[in-house]
Amino acid sequence: MLSPKKTTLAFALSAATALLVAACGGNTNDGSPGSSTSPTSPPTSTPTTDPTQNSAISLHGIVYGSADTSVPDGAGIPITMMGQMRALFDLIRKSPDFTQVVMDLGDGSPVHVLDTNTGDKFLPGKLALGLSWILIDMKTKGDPAYADYLATYQKITTAMMTQMNGTDYTYANTSWGEYYYLVALNNFNAHGMLHEVFSDSMLATLQTRLTFCDMFGADASGKTNTCPAAGTPIDVASLNTAQNYYAVSYGIAGLRQKLGWSNPTFSSSTDASVATMGARDALLYTLTKHIRNDSTGGFSDEASNTHTTYYDQARYDRYSTLLIGEVTERTLEMGNEANLTPELKSYLRKSVDLILAQLNTNGQGFNYGRSIGPYGDTAFMEVLTAAANAGVLTQQEMQVAYSYIYKAAYRYSNFWYDPTLPTPSVNMWVKGRGTDSYRGKPRVMGENFSLLHQFMYVNAWWDKLGFNGKAPLSDADMQTYLNTKPHYTLTWYNQPTDTAHPYSAALITVRDGKRVINFNLSQAPDYNSYTPYYPVPSSDQLAYGTTDLAYALLIPQVTYNSKTYIPVTYYKNLNVQENNGEVVVTFDTTKFRQAAKNALYTTDIDLQVHTTVTFSHGTITRSDTMTSGAATGSPLAGNLSVETDFSSFADFQNTTAGGDGFSVNYTNSAATNYATTGFDNCALSQFDTVNGATNPLSTTPIGQLHSNFVCKTNSFALTGGASRTFTWTLKYADPA
């Protein structure tokens, strides 16, 4: 991993001992950024930097760069983020027909990224917002090419909002797309450009179309729902998508209100108080109740909208932590600070604490769950920025947060962004990387815009907070702070005393020197068959799940009557202890689920497993003792087999099986050795290709897995009271 040269901060802590003070929450921020110009919009002038700082080595240096947005000397990046956005604008502007714009990622299948069937239902909003940063910057600087770029912008936005027959439009633009578009409109308005960029007729079209109505109603198929007749309220409980979309609709309602546009009203059959609120406040009220009721830990349960019983709920992942950060940011950008209650700030602080335990000097974010990759990194960034603005960080934490965000921006520019592709772009799809189907390659243009916007608005906030041109903490000072964090952190999503959610749901984070290891226990009914939700360690370049796919990664996967079952939910009796420097995690899994997305609970089988995972320096050991509640003589008492796999990032050519047949040695790799007991046979194989083609199982968000070590049993019986134990031990080297 590339790392910027270490720089001593003029604003850094005055003595190294100050870094050893444990971080804690507190409202030490000197007010929140509030002005007529939203801090999420581009600045109105070239910033003045502190001459004692090297402004190239700063968040602003990576995002904006020099006055002409070129890369400043010493920044260590191939192109600024504004430069990336300008290049995308030029790609569109130079095409005779923007619907035929092609992005080529070098894999032999270029994508028409602006046609009408990319599958990106947010695309018009992403373009309107992303390209608005360029227009505002050009207008502010008096760029003579501004009129030409403005004409291109107007041509694209008009075409994408063209109504066809009935209520159908040339391009879909739902939920997030509507929110993105409204951010662009408010930013233009803050810079006095709204009526210069959009005609009155276009604004009338946008006022009609940019609503939250498509997220409510009986139709959950994705077809856009029209708003009810004026005066007819929407049932606030009729949200037809995931719970986090309450935050999207909240953002839409608030930004419409900021423009002076009216909103549909809400009603509720269970809470009459909703009817007395405007749409903005009713949505925030409902969202707060969701977090309060569906997680005793203060996190968002992302599965609770589609499942009705306690064992169906509890998907906790990146978004469970990020949601409160987005709510806070929306609240600030719409000027609704008065409703940022102590309760909401307490939820935000819990997300901060979960993130601080995972921070690192490389800018890496979430390594488990769905839709991570660069979004795993930016999720940390967004929560920490919201917390800085809401006043829930100490001054020390502010500097640590800014330093992480700088590193995330540097990592994006040098790892996620690939200038060597035929069309330079963020890369989540090629060269051994893979992402979930939700962010499929046809959405590549929109993903560039939305990621770049995240960095740009975050940079605008930190500029306003006084960090414009400031260098981050040095790696050494950052690591000194990180070394004060506990050896392990247990974060409960649902406390075991919660009778409404009787199964354990929690995150255990273990810090082993510079290595961060997460162990996430989440029921995830809609995703628990996929490896990123397995109850296994996740750590950079050591152990990583593959999106939207399943295999026996580090779990005892059972085959019974030609069907596959996995221990990925029904966790009970979670306990975490530290003894003599070892972190010991124990829990029980009370049933095995069929390994299929949204598998019916009637297909569970009566197997139980007691699991012990021990984390010591450079070593993780897991022991699974399996028993069956089935009576002697039942079919389940026999006909069982178990498989456990470990797939490695190490080159296959440098991987060798041990002479005992049950271990593997790795070189030039984070992993150094993997060994098992309790199995009948093991086999080492190349994992990155199958019949000459890329193996989909090998493409993780951060890169390709190259070898797989498969350990299996022959068929065996588990009569009542009998048990069988399986273990694996993974050894790894300290990160550089």
pLDDT in tens, 335-383: 999 999 999 999 999 999 999 999 999 999 999 998 899 999 999 999 9
pLDDT in tens, 68-114: 999 999 999 999 999 999 999 999 999 999 999 999 999 999 999 99
| Confidence band, pLDDT 50/70/90 cuts, at residue 512 | very high
Q: What is the mean pLDDT of the chain?
A: 88
Distance (Å, rounded) from C-alpha 43 to C-alpha 574? Answer: 49
Distance (Å, rounded) from C-alpha 300 to C-alpha 312? Answer: 15
User: Residue 506 in contact with residue 314, Cβ under 8 Å?
Assistant: no
Dmax over CA atoms of the chain, in Å, equals 85
In single-letter form, the type of residue at position 504 comes to: S
Between 736 and 453, whose confidence is greater?
A: 453
Span 21-37, mean pLDDT? Answer: 35
Domain with CATH 2.70.98 in the chain: 488-732
Span 596-609, mean pLDDT? Answer: 84
Distance (Å, rounded) from C-alpha 702 to C-alpha 373? Answer: 6
pLDDT value at residue 33: 34
Q: Is the pLDDT of residue 135 over 70?
A: yes
Positive or negative, the CA dihedral 539, 542, 544, 550 is negative
Q: Among 346, 348, 475, which residue's Cα sits nearest to residue 5?
A: 475
Q: Per the structure block, which two tokens stand in for 490? A: 């247990």
DSSP 685-730: EE-SEETTEE-GGGEETTEE--EEEEEE---B---TT-EEEEEEEE
Residues whose CB falls within 8 Å of the CB of residue 579, separated by 6 or more in sequence, listed in order: none
110 membership: H or E segment, kind and range: none
Distance (Å, rounded) from C-alpha 380 to C-alpha 389? Answer: 14
Distance (Å, rounded) from C-alpha 558 to C-alpha 644? Answer: 9
Residues whose CB falls within 8 Å of the CB of residue 147, separated by 6 or more in sequence, listed in order: none
Q: Rg of the Cα trace of the chain?
A: 26
Q: Per the structure block, which two tokens stand in for 215? A: 């997220």
User: Residue 380 in contact with residue 408, Cβ under 8 Å?
Assistant: yes
Between 192 and 526, whose confidence is greater?
A: 192
Q: Does domain 488-732 have CATH number 1.10.260?
A: no
Residues in the chain: 736
Q: Is the pLDDT of residue 466 over 90?
A: yes
Q: Is the pLDDT of residue 218 over 60?
A: no
- The 3-state secondary structure of 596-654 reads CCCCCHHHCECEEEEEEEEEECCEEEEEEEEEECCCCCCHHHCCEEEEEEEEECCCHHH
Compute φ and ψ for 556, nearest 5 degrees. -80, 95
pLDDT in tens, 698-718: 999 999 999 999 999 999 988
| Confidence band, pLDDT 50/70/90 cuts, at residue 9 | very low
| Confidence band, pLDDT 50/70/90 cuts, at residue 217 | confident
Q: Which residue has the tokens 């060597």?
A: 420
Lowest mean pLDDT among 309-313, 392-396, 625-629: 309-313
Between 235 and 729, whose confidence is greater?
A: 729
- Residues above pLDDT 70, as percent of the chain: 88
Q: What secondary structure letter does DSSP report for 429? A: S
| Confidence band, pLDDT 50/70/90 cuts, at residue 540 | very high
Span 495-508, mean pLDDT? Answer: 80
Q: Among 58, 35, 33, which residue's Cα sits nearest to residue 464?
A: 33
Distance (Å, rounded) from C-alpha 128 to C-alpha 719? Answer: 64
Burial class (CB in 10 A: 0-12, 13-18, 19+), 31: exposed
Q: E-assigned strands of 213-287? A: 234-235, 266-267
- Residues above pLDDT 90, as percent of the chain: 71
Distance (Å, rounded) from C-alpha 649 to C-alpha 432? Answer: 11
pLDDT in tens, 197-211: 999 999 999 999 999
| Confidence band, pLDDT 50/70/90 cuts, at residue 24 | very low
User: Residue 667 in contact with residue 661, Cβ under 8 Å?
Assistant: no
